[in-house]
Amino acid sequence: MPCPPSLQEVVSVLSQAFHGIGALFALQPFFYMLLGIVVGLAFGVAPGLGGITAMAILVPLTYKLDQTSAFALLIGAASAVAFGGSVSAILINTPGTNQNVATCLDGYPMTRRGEGRRAIGISATASALGGVIGAVVLLALIPVMHSIVLAFAPPEYFMLCLLGLTAIAGVSGKNMLKGLVMGGLGMLLSFVGYDPVTGTLRYTFNLLYLYDGIDIVAAVIGLFAVAEMISLMVEGQTIVSKNVVEKPGGLLEGVKDVFRHWWLFVRSSIIGTVIGIIPGVGGGTANVVAYSHAVQTSRHPERFGTGIPEGVIAPESANNASFGGALVPTVAFGIPGSEMCVVLLGAFMLHGLVPGPEMLKEHVDLVFQMAWGVVFANIIASLIGVALMSWLVKMCSVRVSLLAPSVIAIALLGAYATAGSVGDVVVALIFGVFGYWMKKLDYPRAPLMIGLVLGNLAEVNFHLSMQIYGPGFLFRPISLVILVAILVFAFGPYVQRMAGARRRASA
């Protein structure tokens, strides 16, 4: 096992941490972080767009930027999306992203009572402070993250890949089988191109473009950005057909509510951070789990769903805290901790960065800049969101005939700009049509992208594990722990449903 870091190493890391703040607040990176925050808020407020669409569009635009500015832009957008989604969830009962589903349950009833500003104040405060807690955990783990990574060999990386696939499929609920199928399809698509072990070509159909495999950025742009716009055009309506008039006052009262229920906020933030660290799960699960925890531990559970502050505090603190946690497996292992981190991995590749020991050793200053970016982006996003709340809500009533063509044009331009290849544009269009039909037939898209990202990594590490350790690699201590987690995620939903059916039958 690797030794813990020495005092000198800790002092060096702390020095780099403070240097990261200075680098982030240089004029150009700070400007791009603000730009990312505004984009993230806008895409969060507009239902059906979401953070992964914003990230997919922004990644190609970072090609000419330096690394600090590029990731300031992306981290700013990713950190702001969850709060932006809470605005539409609270005001119009429509979650802007899948991270805000539980927020509707009590946020919208508060709006109907004329307490919408109070609910927005709760969301802004809980989102900002929850995001700070998640980032603090990331900052605390950076000094020891390198030592932790060294404890992982190919078997552990392979098991983490399986955990990422199984976890995101397992939280699909009734669509678990569909999630597993899409994850498997994603892995098959990742095998296109040269075999990393034998060097032979696979599934290229003699097309020169496919020799290097499917471009992940182009696939993400198509599967999410283009697919969402196609879906909206087919519906032929505005994103949201009604406007909500917000009564004045109550914003400060919402801020006070978070501090009145401080212990619930802390517990929910911890839940969000832990769920974020689990590969492939993300803020959508954290949002629901934290809300369920608030109901189960409340002295008045019957009041949930009627519009109480606790019903907004728990989900909003959890979903923002989860992003800081999700960066831990993304940076340390190259395993996406959430859907947005899938796109972030594409950005790493675009800028020549390799997550894992190399990044933690050679680019730890950038990791600190990203962590500080999460801290300040959450705070600034909440301040901007509150100040521009009325303007942001208008995004929900923009005609699709104006919105969709603009987004598709920018998305396809972004796909082309990544490598200057028309083939990437074709890939984006193909994945866009395929993503639309996946959404229409209720097939989850996230497992497909996770499989596309993890497939090649899983294949390489499986071969290395078999060559070095043989089949016994499954019984290495860390591998065995991860295997147990995989089984829990895979069969947990079925066990819960069977137990619930038995309880209902006995009742």
Three-state SS letters, 440-503 = HCCCCCHHHHHHHHHHHHHHHHHHHHHHHCHHHHHHCHHHHHHHHHHHHHHHHHHHHHHHHHHH
At 115, phi and psi to the nearest 5? -115, 30
pLDDT of amino acid 1: 46
What average pLDDT does range 302-329 have in this prediction? 83
pLDDT of amino acid 364: 76
Average pLDDT of the chain to the nearest whole number: 77
Q: Which position has the higher pLDDT, 239 or 355?
A: 355
Q: Which position has the higher pLDDT, 74 or 249?
A: 74
Q: Does the pLDDT at position 133 exceed 90?
A: no
Q: Which position has the higher pLDDT, 490 or 35?
A: 35
Q: Which position has the higher pLDDT, 301 or 430?
A: 430
Q: What is the pLDDT of residues 433-473, one digit of tens each?
A: 998 998 888 887 767 877 887 788 788 888 888 888 888 88
Q: Does the pLDDT at position 275 exceed 50?
A: yes
Residue corresponding to tokens 């716009």 = 229
pLDDT of amino acid 117: 78
Q: And the tokens for 338?
A: 């959430």
Q: pLDDT-based confidence at 430, cuts 50/70/90?
A: very high
What average pLDDT does range 351-372 have in this prediction? 78
Of 6-15, 202-211, 449-458, which has the strongest mean pLDDT? 202-211
At 68, phi and psi to the nearest 5? -65, -45
Q: Does the pLDDT at position 192 exceed 80?
A: yes
Q: Which position has the higher pLDDT, 4 or 132?
A: 132
118 vs 102: CA distance, rounded Å: 17
What average pLDDT does range 247-266 have in this prediction? 79
What average pLDDT does range 30-57 have in this prediction? 80
Helix spans in 151-282 (H): 154-170, 176-190, 216-220, 227-235, 251-260, 262-277
The pTM score is 0.65
Rounded percentage of the chain residues whose pLDDT exceeds 70 = 79
- List CB contacts of 354: < 8 A, sequence separation 6 or more: 334, 348
What average pLDDT does range 52-71 have in this prediction? 82
pLDDT of amino acid 171: 44
Q: Does the pLDDT at position 504 exceed 80?
A: no
Q: What is the pLDDT of residues 340-354, one digit of tens each?
A: 777 888 888 788 787
**Residue ranges of E strands in 75-231:** 193-194, 201-202
pLDDT of amino acid 433: 92
Nearest to 43 by CA among 111, 116, 108, 96: 96
